[in-house]
Amino acid sequence: CISNNAFFVCRYELKSGDIILADEKHKPIYDELVENFKVDFIAGGATQNAIRVAQWMLLSEKATAFIGCVGKDKYSEELQRCCEQDGVETYYLETEEAPTGTCAVLVYEKERTLIANLGAANLYKHAHTQSAEMQQVIAKAQVYYCAGFPLSTPEGKETMLSMCKHAAEHNKPFCLNLSAPFLIQFFWEKLQEVLFHADYLFGNESEAAEFSKKQGWECDLPEVALRIAAMAKTSGSRCRTVIITQGAEKTVVARNGEVTLYPVLKLEKEHIVDTNGAGDAFVGGFLARMTQGFPIEECVRAGHYAARIIIQQSGVSLPPSPDIA
């Protein structure tokens, strides 16, 4: 994360505020930033961010674990260090086929430009999940969470479905995030297969609107949440809970045929540093309370709290400890 870099925005033909995937002309930017500036390294990735926040909220070292794919390079070492510092156990598959996924964040006049190189994140192999070590890790877990982004990778759906089926067979909750409208647009069939197993579904208002459009529904957001919650699912031991966040507006929760709206505490604009990762932070706070057996209203409150803390930081960087009653 680098501040005040109008130079790089111009040099790499970027638009201030862009969120883009790096192509060949952008790839030198990562080493150039590290060589010429004091760079803040922050462990990232949508699922990993949510897990880091959950770990922070749980106040119990190594209460969480993350599985993913990294390259054999200095960035994977930095990622490992950051997660260990946060108390998250990591089980990375290492590949020599691509570098560790990175995202350069340039800040100019409080406007952030993100250039993501997914790299090794696209190359996770289902066989790694099936290894004896990973099967032990999976068996120990009590709750499973995954963002929707692996659906866009070659073996992502297969890996997610194996987690889903394990969760259903052992009566453990599987949680899914819609993550981005493009996943609904371009990976709809894969999404439907995984959604069939989801006990908890997270998303924001843009993703919910895209879901509604795909289904041909013409209704308001609470009704969209209700209809998704009522869709068929594999496990009948618990209802599906749908949670839709709307930034500073009320969070919508649908379950058991009912909708509840939860207000978000107002935060003055001057205190907001970076809204990237707010949704992941909400999920992390929610999951932390859920694993502790708290009722849904407390899970939402914890999600709001975590998101409020994160948007006052640069990136998903965590204060020493949470301060929530």
pLDDT digits (tens, 9 = 90+) for 33-59: 888 887 878 888 899 999 999 999 999
Give the span between the Cα atoms of 209 and 316, in whole angstroms.
26
pLDDT of 30 reads 86
Residue 227 has φ and ψ, to the nearest 5°, of -70, -40
pLDDT of 3 reads 47
Among 86, 199, 274, 280, which one carries the catalytic annotation? 280
The side-by-side arrangement of strands in the sheet containing 144-146 is: 144-146, 174-177, 200-204, 241-246, 249-255, 258-262
Question: Which tokens in the block code for residue 10?
Answer: 């111009």
Q: Are β-strands 200-204 and 241-246 bridged in parallel, bridged antiparallel, or unpaired? A: parallel
pLDDT of 9 reads 65
The side-by-side arrangement of strands in the sheet containing 19-21 is: 2-3, 102-108, 111-117, 19-21
Tell which residue, 100, 121, 119, has the closest CA to residue 46.
121
Q: Find the helix or strand (DSSP H, E) in which 89 lies.
A: strand 89-95
pLDDT of 41 reads 80
**DSSP symbol at 293:** T
Distances in Å between the Cα of 228 and the Cα atoms of 21, 197, 284 are: 30, 12, 22
* Catalytic residue status for 280: yes
pLDDT, tens digit only, all 325 positions of the chain:
444 456 666 677 777 666 777 888 888 888 888 888 878 788 888 999 999 999 999 999 899 999 999 999 988 998 999 999 999 999 999 999 999 998 888 776 656 677 888 899 999 999 999 999 999 999 999 999 999 999 999 999 999 999 999 999 999 999 999 999 999 999 999 999 999 999 999 999 999 999 999 999 999 999 999 999 999 998 778 999 999 999 999 999 999 999 999 999 999 988 988 887 899 999 999 999 999 999 999 999 999 999 999 999 877 888 888 988 7
Residue 201 has φ and ψ, to the nearest 5°, of -125, 125
Give the span between the Cα atoms of 44 and 168, in whole angstroms.
28
Give the span between the Cα atoms of 93 and 65, in whole angstroms.
14
Residue 313, class by beta-carbon neighbours within 10 Å (0-12 exposed, 13-18 middle, 19+ buried)? middle
Give the span between the Cα atoms of 125 and 158, in whole angstroms.
9
Question: Which tokens in the block code for residue 122?
Answer: 């696209």
Give the span between the Cα atoms of 236 and 240, in whole angstroms.
9
User: Which residues 6+ apart lie within 8 Å of 168 measured at CB?
Assistant: 174, 197, 234, 235
